[in-house]
Structure 1
């Protein structure tokens, strides 16, 4: 099936990018639900899947609402009103979704599970429960890695925007994905399901990079602009083991122990795990982590009974400069 989206000058003028936390939620959860042994995301899957299972999120509302293939309910990915909305902003929009939209999306999904039935019976109350699940999933699966993910997403947007500025929209669209092509002011897509056209969408276009999408995903609900979620460039390097930075370069500022701890946070880790790796006592690691957190270099995220620490974007930039 081919879909065609015709662009006027106004549509091109209204085309923009956004980095959406909820698109990362639905595409990453779908990847976990698929059970695929994805070679690119295997390090992330191996760390996250046991946490998600322990929290029973693999059998909750999200498991019914985000199937491994086919349709994704539109209300889970509301149209971002700004370039970089926070998760809280998007969850507030989800909680305010009109009941008739929720029911229409559930009809399209064709879900008959108990969680979907409960959502159908009382959309307002159950949407609050769904967003609570999303918050828990975010803390377990995405928040500890968000600094790394944001670097990839922001770099993709910068690259695509530069393509438009230097070569025009046609070059940009033709390079976006193998299923997409641009010709004569028309964007054409190869689609298995859910055809899309300008008659069934609002004006413009909203482009959203995803670190976890395996292909192009579309969203259309007039009068909002259509959304295209596409695989971000650089995802293949997201979980690669990086060279250990030159600790001596930052040890004079942070101290050697804190520099070693920061370097060890290539993947999120608990105080106990960091103590085992570095040989520093758990009490010492805890003290250093508190100082690093106060300085904005690490963030803390609860995962069940443990707390995982992760490097922030500031720390990632600092270590990149010394690698």
Structure 2
């Protein structure tokens, strides 16, 4: 079985990337439902164990079938390239109860026994209340599981978007989809996703929203029925190193050349990152990191590019060569 997204001429110009903190929260909750499948996230699972124990995630898990429909009203595609969790949650809370009831029923029937369960019947009996209670639970999950780690997660997702935006600019959609996920195939005007169920949709000028995700690994997820914008969530690059410490000590010679603090900042930029993300990664004040970044950029060791409201810094070829030098500890 397959998913098909069929592109028209207008859709080729309307593909965009976005980051969704609400999506990452939903998928973090899904990881807790089956943590054995997510070895990359074991360090995170250990860190959030106590916080997760204080949450009753069963109502959300009931709406996460292994195969089948997930309620669209709980995860509307982000309206812009850089939205806050609060903005996304407001859209969830504004869901139409009648549409939510149909969404809930379609999801519950995909899990044996869920429709007849007490929790399932309670949702369907009062969908307006169910919307608000599920939103409350999603908000609690955000604060407990994802928000403390959001600077690190956002840096990973922003770096992924920068990488794939360049592939798109250099080679078009064929080059983009060729490197996005092994389950994707681009042929003619159609993107095909290998999946257990069938979905065939013409984009009709809406284009395709592309969302990198840390927690969706190893899957690629396509979906959303009209009127939602067609969306594809895929595993972000670099998640294998997401929860690891920085890669080794700063080269001694580089520390002598630049000073320890600036050398540490340069070595921490293994992937493009914002000032805030680097400050979180290094345990420094954002103002301090900003000063070092400007100095390194002025010396020709960094370039900056804008993504939404964020400015991402990355190393130039000269900086890459310098940071790859001898790595004996200082």
Same fold (TM over 0.5): yes
**Secondary structure in structure 2 of the residue aligned to 1:181:** strand
Aligned partners of 2:123 and 2:32: how far apart in 1?
Answer: 23
CA shift for structure 1 position 57: 2.3
Aligned partners of 1:295 and 1:115: how far apart in 2?
Answer: 50
Q: Equivalent residue for 2:224?
A: 220
RMSD: 3.5
Q: Equivalent residue for 1:137?
A: 141
The answer to whether residue 219 in structure 2 is matched with residue 208 in structure 1 is no
Aligned partners of 2:125 and 2:72: how far apart in 1?
Answer: 18
Aligned partners of 2:93 and 2:289: how far apart in 1?
Answer: 31
**Secondary structure in structure 1 of the residue aligned to 2:10:** helix
CA shift for structure 1 position 3: 2.5
Task: Check whether the contact 2:26–2:138 (CA below 8 A) recurs between aligned residues.
Answer: no
Aligned partners of 1:249 and 1:117: how far apart in 2?
Answer: 61
Task: Check whether the contact 1:30–1:67 (CA below 8 A) recurs between aligned residues.
Answer: no
**Secondary structure in structure 2 of the residue aligned to 1:225:** coil
Q: Equivalent residue for 1:249?
A: 260
Aligned partners of 1:57 and 1:114: how far apart in 2?
Answer: 15
Q: Equivalent residue for 1:238?
A: 242
Task: Check whether the contact 1:34–1:68 (CA below 8 A) recurs between aligned residues.
Answer: no
Q: Equivalent residue for 2:76?
A: 78
After superposition, give the CA deviation of every residue in 1:22-53 in whole Å (9 maximum; x if it has no partner). Answer: 21012111111013153211101122233212
Q: Which of 195, 202, 207 pairs up with 2:199?
A: 195
Q: Equivalent residue for 1:186?
A: 190
Q: Equivalent residue for 2:61?
A: 63
After superposition, give the CA deviation of every residue in 1:161-215 in whole Å (9 maximum; x if it has no partner). Answer: 100101111111121111111111111111112423217x773111111101121
Q: Equivalent residue for 2:23?
A: 23
Aligned partners of 2:26 and 2:145: how far apart in 1?
Answer: 12
Aligned partners of 1:72 and 1:224: how far apart in 2?
Answer: 13
**Secondary structure in structure 1 of the residue aligned to 2:40:** coil
Structure with greater proportional helix content: 1
The answer to whether residue 35 in structure 2 is matched with residue 50 in structure 1 is no
**Secondary structure in structure 2 of the residue aligned to 1:189:** strand
Task: Check whether the contact 1:29–1:66 (CA below 8 A) recurs between aligned residues.
Answer: no
The answer to whether residue 99 in structure 2 is matched with residue 101 in structure 1 is yes
Task: Check whether the contact 1:23–1:229 (CA below 8 A) recurs between aligned residues.
Answer: no
**Secondary structure in structure 2 of the residue aligned to 1:36:** helix
Aligned partners of 1:49 and 1:63: how far apart in 2?
Answer: 17
CA shift for structure 1 position 244: 6.8
The answer to whether residue 127 in structure 2 is matched with residue 123 in structure 1 is yes
After superposition, give the CA deviation of every residue in 1:75-124 in whole Å (9 maximum; x if it has no partner). Answer: 11102111111111111110111112211221211233433333222222
Q: Hey, which bits of structure 1, 4+ residues long, moved more than 6 A?
A: 244-248, 293-297
Task: Check whether the contact 2:105–2:124 (CA below 8 A) recurs between aligned residues.
Answer: no
Aligned partners of 1:47 and 1:121: how far apart in 2?
Answer: 37
Aligned partners of 1:74 and 1:14: how far apart in 2?
Answer: 21
Aligned partners of 1:221 and 1:39: how far apart in 2?
Answer: 31
After superposition, give the CA deviation of every residue in 1:277-322 in whole Å (9 maximum; x if it has no partner). Answer: xxxxxxxxxxxx9x9599999xxxxxxxxxxxxxxx99x99xxx99
Task: Check whether the contact 1:26–1:66 (CA below 8 A) recurs between aligned residues.
Answer: no
The two structures have a TM-score, normalised by structure 2, of: 0.71
Q: CA 1:12–1:81 in 2, change beyond 3 Å: closer, same or farther?
A: same
Q: CA 1:10–1:121 in 2, change beyond 3 Å: closer, same or farther?
A: same
Task: Check whether the contact 1:4–1:187 (CA below 8 A) recurs between aligned residues.
Answer: yes
Aligned partners of 1:69 and 1:42: how far apart in 2?
Answer: 24
The answer to whether residue 170 in structure 2 is matched with residue 166 in structure 1 is yes
Moved more, 230-239 or 104-113: 104-113
Q: Equivalent residue for 1:258?
A: none
Q: Which of 156, 162, 167 pairs up with 2:160?
A: 156
